Structure 1
């Protein structure tokens, strides 16, 4: 964490130094020059001070989140406009480094301004700018009764970050309006505390699906990221969270499987506890969860962290047809336009958003319903996924 933050701060400074070249090209006002750096010094100093307070046990996460969001507001526009200045520098290299062009510096400034407006939208409206993403998946061994069966998936609610009840209700209304057969939630109901869900319980209770609502735990649900007065308090928090799943009508699957029945045919729905590579806990046990699932069953797995798919599921002794995950949030920042998608999270997770396929097995990574850390979303919008299952033979008749 500290190394990554140090790298971010270093990139922030380097980017600012580079963009400053455009500023001094456009104005010689010393007050503006000094103000440019005063903002940087105050911001970086504030972040470093807040980190020390956090390590000392003070509750300053919200302040740190605010400072990091402010840094993004300042840094990202400069970062994305820097290629304009870099292109100019490459041309200047072959011209003996003449003075910078005022017009190009103005173009860089205008581009930075436009990106700044996009970020403002992201941190003010983006957190509830829900997108419905639909996929149709074909399987040769899907039971015939399930041909056309629909699943709505949501993930990463992070109710402790919510403040706008109307915005949350807008998203939940969209979930219900999909009229899917099955509703699945793939973890991270809260940031840390079960009590974060208290005011939202009635809203989530109103979610409906004729074949049921099922859920699993995510890494944040265990309370591993805050200090507890005792292990008993931490365990009580997790017990309460499990009760909330039940109160909202979700059947929480803890390394276990259930059967979904339709017209006498069945699919196995499997849910594992959180399992993540790296420093994340590995509570999930796919072998235990599938112990009573027949080999020939059509299997749908809920597993919060997509790294579990690569590390465990793909090579599991039983064929898991479809895995649903979340966790990454698409880093809540990136670009998705005309089929192109990019986010810094791709350098940490091979599967980070959308649909993936390997060896006849599918993984879908939901971008998350809520938000955490960054108080909004920029380019990677909150997602409600709708998956339609089809028999592979149906594809041939289209």
Structure 2
């Protein structure tokens, strides 16, 4: 293991231990004698569980096991919730010390006998408030890792489109995105989520990237489920940033290339046409629309393999064009200004941060401070962009306020 990783891991452990010390300072005077010993051991135990879970996941990856385990996901998610609760409890006391001790040292040096000043009533008030607030992320996390991540919703969105051929009036186009196969720990729940696709009776199904987290083998348990998705005109897919295996090292370049080949094979077995900077024509009653699919293009550090010149080669630019591009930044910085007019662009990638608010009239998530277009439908100059919050999850094994989704568009012509 690189010394850099050892240093980074040591720093993280140091921060976690410091957080535990301050959490105990904040809680010990409010715990009854019956629970005193429990909390004294519970606080450091959750830190140990978090580190153990991380180590086990690394070991499983080294052993070629790339699909999640239910107990590991629950442990990781729960200990993360406890971490947030600790942060809320410890923060006021940590901030107080940051300001109080320099003043104490200054006074000590100046007067030679400065004494610490305690404000017990204020401390008690702050302690009670922080303990109450700490329950919120803990309860939210428990919901997120048990129910929220599989609380699938179907969004039905009518789209009035200016350049749509008459034959495509009423076309049902279903999008789902960010599957992240290696994260799932309940295959029956995933099967139910995918069954919602066929219930919409779509004409076309479009997948907008991130089938896996790192390795093609993650998709193996789901190929049969994906192959049962039906769409009379076709099923099409693109790659996302996680589909290139960039976030976990390979033994050799040959092994990495083999992973790419296996991923392409997984799409083929699932009945999806994987679009690698290319275009196809969708035909209905003699009329056509263009479907353009590009590889991932994102702002650094994300890979920029998307090539619009190559993907649009040979198309009739006067036709109606749908672009599939995983990262919404591609629409923002390239596609929107490109000479070919993309009537509709479908993206994913952001997950809505798997945390936030998504209700009619109000959408919020911390990811909005990173991406200008991060969730839902946007329109500029007769060009639409839809950013899906995704079907799966990554990193934190849960979702709070950002339910996984499949999106069904029904096309309407503006004449």
TM-score by length of 1: 0.81
Cα-to-partner distance string for 1:283-318 (whole Å, 9 max, x where unaligned): 110111112111211110111111111111011111
The answer on whether the counterparts of 1:194 and 1:241 sit within 8 Å (CA) in structure 2 is yes
Q: 1:360 aligns with which of 379, 382, 400?
A: 382
Q: Does 1:189 align with 2:211?
A: yes
The answer on whether the counterparts of 2:81 and 2:137 sit within 8 Å (CA) in structure 1 is no
Equivalent residue, structure 2, for 1:72: 80
Q: 1:137 aligns with which of 159, 163, 177?
A: 159
The answer on whether the counterparts of 1:9 and 1:44 sit within 8 Å (CA) in structure 2 is no
Q: C-alpha separation between the residues in 1 aligned to 2:40 and 2:194?
A: 48
Equivalent residue, structure 2, for 1:92: none
Q: 2:372 aligns with which of 331, 350, 355?
A: 350
Equivalent position SS for 1:226: coil
Q: Does 1:174 align with 2:196?
A: yes
The answer on whether the counterparts of 2:292 and 2:312 sit within 8 Å (CA) in structure 1 is yes
Cα-to-partner distance string for 1:159-193 (whole Å, 9 max, x where unaligned): 12223221111011111101111100011111222
Q: Does 1:324 align with 2:346?
A: yes
The alpha carbon displacement at 1:208 in A equals: 0.4
Unmatched tracts of structure 1, length 5 or more: 86-96, 394-398
Equivalent residue, structure 1, for 2:248: 226
With over 3 angstroms needed to count, the CA separation of the structure-2 counterparts of 1:299 and 1:6, relative to structure 1, is farther
Q: Tell me the number of residue pairs that the alignment of Structure 1 and Structure 2 aligns.
A: 381
The answer on whether the counterparts of 2:141 and 2:398 sit within 8 Å (CA) in structure 1 is no
Equivalent residue, structure 2, for 1:244: 266
Equivalent residue, structure 2, for 1:38: 44
Structure number with bigger Rg: 2
Equivalent residue, structure 1, for 2:179: 157
Equivalent position SS for 2:334: helix
Equivalent position SS for 2:339: coil
Q: C-alpha separation between the residues in 2 aligned to 1:170 and 1:232?
A: 37
The answer on whether the counterparts of 1:25 and 1:100 sit within 8 Å (CA) in structure 2 is no
Unmatched tracts of structure 2, length 5 or more: 94-118
Greater mean deviation of Cα atoms: 204-213 or 236-245: 236-245
Equivalent residue, structure 2, for 1:146: 168
The answer on whether the counterparts of 2:157 and 2:410 sit within 8 Å (CA) in structure 1 is yes
With over 3 angstroms needed to count, the CA separation of the structure-2 counterparts of 1:258 and 1:288, relative to structure 1, is same
Q: Does 1:207 align with 2:229?
A: yes
The alignment yields a C-alpha RMSD, in angstroms, of 3.8
Equivalent position SS for 1:291: coil
Q: C-alpha separation between the residues in 1 aligned to 2:157 and 2:62?
A: 45
Q: 2:356 aligns with which of 324, 327, 334?
A: 334
Q: C-alpha separation between the residues in 2 aligned to 1:248 and 1:356?
A: 31
Equivalent residue, structure 1, for 2:293: 271
The alpha carbon displacement at 1:207 in A equals: 0.2
Q: C-alpha separation between the residues in 1 aligned to 2:401 and 2:12?
A: 19
TM-score by length of 2: 0.78
Equivalent position SS for 1:292: coil
Q: C-alpha separation between the residues in 1 aligned to 2:255 and 2:268?
A: 20
Equivalent residue, structure 2, for 1:91: none
Equivalent residue, structure 1, for 2:107: none
With over 3 angstroms needed to count, the CA separation of the structure-2 counterparts of 1:84 and 1:336, relative to structure 1, is farther
Equivalent position SS for 1:257: strand
